[in-house]
A and B are shown apart, each in its own frame.
Chain A
């Protein structure tokens, strides 16, 4: 198991963002993390990537606790934050070189060529990031996340704002990466989950309401569509 989360909670002031969630994720598996806006998806991801600490409970990545072995955990993780922040005034290659220098990778140059190839950045590799279209920025964000060849990939809405062709490209890449790594992917898009994820976690108001293989989840709900299942489990406001 490369990610083990036990009874994890996070409170912001009086508000509980996540409330005692537990789950596991293993390599060779793409885990879809679903939930309405504000359900706690991003908060969970921020705790796993050591950006903010939990209020209670434990989380570990590759057997290392996120609080006590923070730096080692971050070395194992590739993270694409929500909204994909980038240094807009940098050039594509410059940004990748910077990432390489952070990880002190010996053969940074060759790795840059590799990720440019993998993420389909070839045509835009000499541009300023500020001049890239949204799709290419997203690819660059992904390129930065996979740069150090991490064992665990955490992607917060990786395909938001992309056109259908780009979505398919990114999905194929994620599927490919998921064969050897542990990938956690958050999204609102149900087709995306059906296309790339084997395991699904649905989270609502900070609590896990479903955690199962995609196929068994569908069986348990009389083969309804994932969208219906999602609405059934989380859409308490809409009746």
Chain B
């Protein structure tokens, strides 16, 4: 598993695409947080990173599928999947190695954003006037959200040889699981179980962790979400054996 993880990470950083997608993520979140007047912290007037944590999930919807789309689709296209699958590695090793590698890349993308926290920390009237607990909770929420999106990305990448299909399906699934449940619950027909529907979506759990309240239910939700999609991925890979 570690060998797969290593291979994926070095493969990712030896391609220009990696740096471009990371740079775009940082650029866009930076613009939203510091420059665009609607969401800029300088106009907003409160020392908080809310606008960053609000925009980040939508950036992840594109960043993460871009990171994961090649992971299995490219192996299948180049035939190197046969090379991997005939080595003494189980399908779980391959899936988990690739999952952890992509997740690690997502976490690495988040590291430079700590500068935002430090800046806001320094800029507050009376220095350090920022809800650090909520920031830690929000980062945790983002990482868990990243895990959920990564598992979706890996799943769609396992379908076939086409990376574009993997990317498109993955963006779609990420969007649906993140916010569609909120929208559907607003329909009159579903009002009877509105709160049940909302709690199926990622957004509700992400918001809950972002408040700095670490609830075991949210943890279990994210872990089982990622677990489910990884299981589906492994099932698709194993389908060659049916």
A87–B11 touching, CB < 8 Å: yes
A99 to chain B, nearest CB (A): 8
Interface check A179, CB cutoff 8 A: no
> Does A83 interact with chain B (Cβ within 8 Å)?
yes
> Across the two chains, which residue of chain A brings its CB closest to B10?
A94
Distance of A89 Cα from B82 Cα, bound (Å): 17
* Known interface pairs A74-B86, A75-B88, A102-B89; A85-B79 also in contact (CB < 8 Å): yes
**A50 at the binding interface (Cβ < 8 Å):** yes
A50 to B88, CA, bound (A): 10
8 Å CB interface, B123-168 against A: none
Task: Report B-chain residues with C-beta under 8 Å of the C-beta of A83.
Answer: 79
Interface size grouping (class) on chain A: 20 to 34
Q: Within 8 Å CB of B88, what residues of A?
A: 71-72, 74-75, 102-103
A154 to chain B, nearest CB (A): 9
Q: How far is the CA of A77 from the CA of B10 in the complex (A)?
A: 27
Write the nearest CB–CB distance from A58 to chain B, whole angstroms.
16
Complex interface bits, B28-64 against A, C-beta within 8 A gives 1, otherwise 0? 0000000000000000000000000000000000000
Q: Interface on chain B toward A: helix, strand, loop, or mixed SS? A: helix
Cβ–Cβ contact A79 & B14, under 8 A: no
Asked if A86 is an interface residue, CB under 8 A from chain B, the answer is yes
By CB atoms of chain A within 10 A, which of B78, B80, B85, B86 has the most? B86
Complex CA gap A235/B88 in Å reads 39
- Partner pick for A51 among B11, B80, B86, CB 8 A cutoff: B86
**Residue A23 at the chain B interface, CB threshold 8 Å:** no
Contacts A71-B90, A81-B83, A89-B11 given; does A101 touch B241 at CB 8 Å: no
Q: Are A85 and B80 in contact (CB under 8 A)?
A: yes
Interface residues of A in 63-92 (CB under 8 A from B): 71-72, 74-75, 77, 79, 81, 83, 85-90
Q: Are B11 and A90 in contact (CB under 8 A)?
A: yes
Contacts of B6 in A (CB 8 A): 98, 101
Find residues 87-133 in chain A having any chain B CB closer than 8 Å to their own CB. Answer: 87-90, 94, 98-99, 101-103
Interchain nearest-CB distance for B170 vs A (Å):
22
Say whether B82 contacts A51, CB under 8 Å. yes
Q: Which residues of B contact A49 (CB under 8 A)?
A: 86
Q: Would you call B78 and A85 a contact (CB within 8 A)?
A: yes
Q: Is the CB of A98 within 8 A of B7?
A: yes
CB contacts (< 8 Å) of B15 on chain A: these are 89
On whether the beta carbons of A102 and B87 are closer than 8 Å, the reply is: yes
Q: Which residues on A sit within 8 Å (CB–CB) of B216?
A: none
The 5 closest A-B pairs by CB, nearest first: A85-B79, A101-B3, A49-B86, A75-B88, A74-B88
22 pairs of residues in contact across A and B, judged by CB atoms under 8 Å: A50-B86, A51-B85, A51-B240, A52-B241, A71-B88, A71-B90, A74-B87, A74-B88, A81-B79, A81-B83, A83-B79, A85-B82, A86-B78, A86-B83, A87-B11, A87-B78, A89-B11, A89-B14, A98-B6, A101-B6, A102-B89, A103-B87
- Please list the residues of chain B having a beta carbon within 8 angstroms of any beta carbon in chain A: 2-3, 6-7, 10-11, 14-15, 78-80, 82-83, 85-90, 240-241
Known pairs A52-B241, A85-B82, A87-B80; list 9 more (Cβ under 8 Å): A46-B82, A50-B86, A51-B86, A77-B86, A79-B86, A85-B79, A102-B88, A103-B87, A144-B83
